[in-house]
Chain A
């Protein structure tokens, strides 16, 4: 009962402080008035009486405070006093405060930003039911391509023969040109089996989903389901869109539903705009490739379904499903030996869990490794920041022993002092948390212009400050505070007040050892970051200096797709002729051409098999070549050097003898010791003449392995006129200025045509080098920070050690030790932690080098020279940081030191 009343009283005091204060004021005023009256009655004048009453009463404020003390709010009042003290302390020592807050802010902020990116890229689950029971299935093709598409018969067999999946769906992407939206636009379409939505457990937001029956083989219903985002963006979120007919690649489809918010398929990099029944391909024109093949239902060799997704039976593990599918693929290899054959053996089936978004095929590893690298870098930075903070707080606690001793001597309880210290570090960490927020926000903004490997644009990931990550980071800040605030706080309870006040802080040898340990950690981490930064910088320089086999500067590219708009072959050729003629007329344009592929552009490779006249193939050998269909002017526009013979010209038109131009790699390999020009080969079964040899341009990444490549005339290759094409133009003027003019040209020719991209070739190269650039930028930033922190750490410890031993040093100088001797002894003291740190750092860097080798070009990740040079640099910095306080020590005036005791 008493306790309850006590609590209620305190609560009232806390919750209604204004009322309680007012009552107290009234009460005290009453008292004063009564006193005055009494004195007046005794014959004092009114004025004198009032003054005397007040004098007797004492300072009103003090009385009020004393009464309030009794309310039991003193603890909170103490808190406020703590905070006031903290503010004073931090103001008095702005360097320390700023250092600690910035260290925390940078460390935590960078980590928050990076973890948000990593979380979005690698850890996010697609919003489907029971994602952990879903498995993606692919048909393997040749070695190195384990995740290729499947044919419809493949899909049926996998579904029917498997005994570990309760159901299986399939989907395949198609490019779409959407009419009837607010503006014509390119969209990302997904052909899906009728059970796709059911299997994923995704319910439509509006109308209905694609359902069983929509995908009757050979005769798909012409229905479409829009993604929620695309519906909002292209149709203004109008619910009346249900039942409306829209034109996809110039063919009518009825919108029957809109997907739920947030669902855009299972793939990280592609967000679906429109879902269509699996067999809608034939309505979408030749631009959708194999999906429009009328034979696709029965043709086992037409592998066009990009991804199959199955739901595991309850209790079945992924490993068992893999065994199951191995049995299925063995059975199929036996039943269809020729259709299931690939270059290096029968096709298999690859299984991948879908508990996270599916990463772009072929880039999974490099993407994962790169994100890991980023997280590791900021993680190291956080460790370094923590070490630095610990060092700062410890140094400060030592410096404040005197002050704390005085406060304890004056009667402050050890608990009170400890709480004061904790409040101080808590305030620091919260301020640091605030800075971290700003840092994270700025970093995310900076990062949003970057792309991760595999074409994963950070902006497209929709990375925001994740509240969970943010909470985690703030928690981290508070934890740091408690941890490092507690260490000095605990010491205070063991503090010898008398010695502290006298300025002696003996008995902290363990303290110094700990700080030396921190220095070793800092030096080691710093070495790792510096080595990483050095490697990335050298890679970047090597990449920029590398011969790309073409000249990006001065060239622009525009990618488009005629087949989506139903252009026939003749119509398409006429369009290209007019486009090229128009662009070549533009002022400043030196050359213009068109190709199915340009360097540093995603996808678009086409491959075929060749036989070379005069080249003896081994029995099991095949010559697999990639090829690009081009229009005359392509080599000139891209600046690809023609080494021998000639390029593709107007002469190589339809009906003329078919010719190819090959790259140097192919000439060296298959015409070794002979001249390739004038040679003959078969290309996709057709005999052709080699008329020229060109330099090998880099197609995807600097440092890629060269392969055999052929360039054929677009006009002579009927099947090549479809799909995506890229216009390239070279100007002697400003490339940026050329971009809008080229867009106008396209609009004049066909206002309904949308461009996939229009950018300078320099930009394309830049995007391709993004991981290296990003790695170099981040690592250099953090390495520079690390170097400064390590130097500060060494300096701090040395000055502390010197100050602690000032008396010893003074005595030694007094009895004749030479200054250089003193200097040497200080340096010798710091050598072990620095050297141990360097050695540990070098070993760790070597161990970590394997992870970054993928991103290196022209330099080995375990390059000993980089490590040695950086170790030497660090050693020099550490020595400099040691020498400054050491020289001060050597210059000590022994008399003054000894007298100060």
Chain B
């Protein structure tokens, strides 16, 4: 049976991005690498969705962006979480927790 990589569940990408940049400011590439690395390559980030999501979050005011030079001397746009973003992350984490418990409960029903 082919091993299928789960698609990102709608809406979860925003939450994951918020989580990642809440740890430290990071550029888009870094965010996608970090997500894939932490999930043990279980989650694949669609590049197009990534940037659409980043810009949407910026517009919402949950993250802010600035240009900085990377360790290997390249100019990159870094994203950092804002106070509103942290609050939002709290809400999302809590909601996700409830949701996943509920889903798990249903699947575990015998």
Q: Which residues of A contact B (CB under 8 A)?
A: 1-2, 5-6, 9-10, 23-24, 26-28, 30-31, 33-35, 38, 56-58, 62-63, 66-72
Query: Can you give 13 A-B contacts (C-beta < 8 A)?
Result: A2-B84, A5-B61, A23-B77, A24-B51, A26-B77, A58-B47, A58-B48, A63-B47, A63-B52, A67-B48, A67-B55, A70-B52, A72-B59
Q: Among the interface residues A30, A69, A72, which one has the most CB atoms of the partner chain B within 10 A? A: A30
Mark each residue of chain B from 1 to 44: 1 if its CB lies under 8 Å from any CB of chain A, else 0: 00000000000000000000000000111001100000000000
Tell me the bound Cα distance from A880 to B23 in angstroms: 82
Which residues of B are found within 8 Å of A57, using beta-carbon distances?
A: 47-48
Tell me how far the C-beta of A379 lies from the nearest C-beta in chain B, rounded to whole angstroms.
Answer: 52
Residues of chain B within 8 A (CB-CB) of A58 are 47-48
B71 to chain A, nearest CB (A): 12
The answer to whether B53 and A70 touch across the interface, beta carbons within 8 angstroms, is yes
In the bound complex, how far is the Cα of B33 from the Cα of A528, in angstroms?
79
The A interface is mostly helix, strand or loop, or mixed, namely: helix
A10 to B60, CA, bound (A): 11
Neighbouring A residues of B51 by C-beta, 8 Å: 24, 27-28, 31, 63, 66-67
Tell me if B55 and A71 are in contact (CB < 8 A). yes
Residue with the greatest number of chain A CB neighbours at <10 A, chosen from B55, B61, B84: B55
Q: What chain B residues lie within 8 Å of A68 (beta carbons)? A: 55
Question: Which B residues are in CB contact (< 8 Å) with A56?
Answer: 47
8 Å CB contact of B59 from A9, A24, A35: A9
Residues of A close to B47: CB separation below 8 A? 31, 56-58, 63
Name the B residues within 8 Å of A71 (CB-CB): 55, 59
Rounded to whole angstroms, the CA-CA distance of A38 and B37 in the bound complex is 13
| A5-B61, A6-B61, A30-B29 given; A66·B74 CB < 8 A | no
> Does B56 touch A at the CB level, under 8 Å?
yes
Interface residues of B in 43-98 (CB under 8 A from A): 47-49, 51-56, 58-61, 67, 74-77, 84
Chain A positions within 8 Å of B49 at CB level = 66
Contact B52 A66 (CB under 8 A): yes
A33 to B29, CA, bound (A): 10
| Most A C-beta atoms less than 10 A away, residue of B48, B56, B74 | B48
Q: Are B61 and A2 in contact (CB under 8 A)?
A: yes
In the complex the two chains form, is A70's CB within 8 Å of B28's CB? Answer: no
Which partner residue on chain B sits nearest A64 by CB separation?
A: B51
Which 9 pairs between the two chains have the least Cβ-Cβ distance?
Answer: A70-B55, A70-B56, A34-B29, A66-B52, A63-B48, A67-B51, A5-B61, A31-B29, A70-B52
Chain B contacts of A35 at CB under 8 A? 29
A27 and B76 contact, CB distance less than 8 A = yes
Which partner residue on chain B sits nearest A69 by CB separation? Answer: B52
Contacts A56-B47, A58-B48, A62-B48; is A30 near B75 (CB within 8 Å)? yes
Distance of B52 from chain A, by nearest CB (Å): 4
The answer to whether B77 and A6 have CB atoms under 8 Å apart is no
CB contacts (< 8 Å) of B55 on chain A: these are: 67-68, 70-71
Which of B27, B54, B59, B61 touches A30 (beta carbons < 8 Å)? Answer: B27
Q: A28-B51, A62-B48, A63-B47 are in contact. Are A70 and B59 (CB under 8 A)?
A: yes
For A23, the chain B residues whose CB sits under 8 A away are: 67, 77
Bound-state CA distance A62–B74 (Å) is 25
A561 to B103, CA, bound (A): 109
Q: Are A6 and B74 touching (Cβ within 8 A)?
A: no
Tell me the bound Cα distance from A1 to B84 in angstroms: 11
Of A24, A56, A66, most B-chain CB atoms within 10 Å: A66
B59 touches A27 (CB 8 A): no
> Which of A28, A33, A67, A71 gathers most chain B CB within 10 Å?
A67
Greatest chain A CB density within 10 A among B59, B60, B84 is at B59
A24: B residues at CB distance < 8 A = 51
In the complex the two chains form, is A6's CB within 8 Å of B28's CB?
no
A30 to B75, CA, bound (A): 8
Nearest CB of B to A61, in Å: 11
Of chain A, the residue at the smallest CB distance from B48 is A63
A33 in contact with B53 given A6-B59, A58-B47, A71-B59 (CB within 8 Å): no
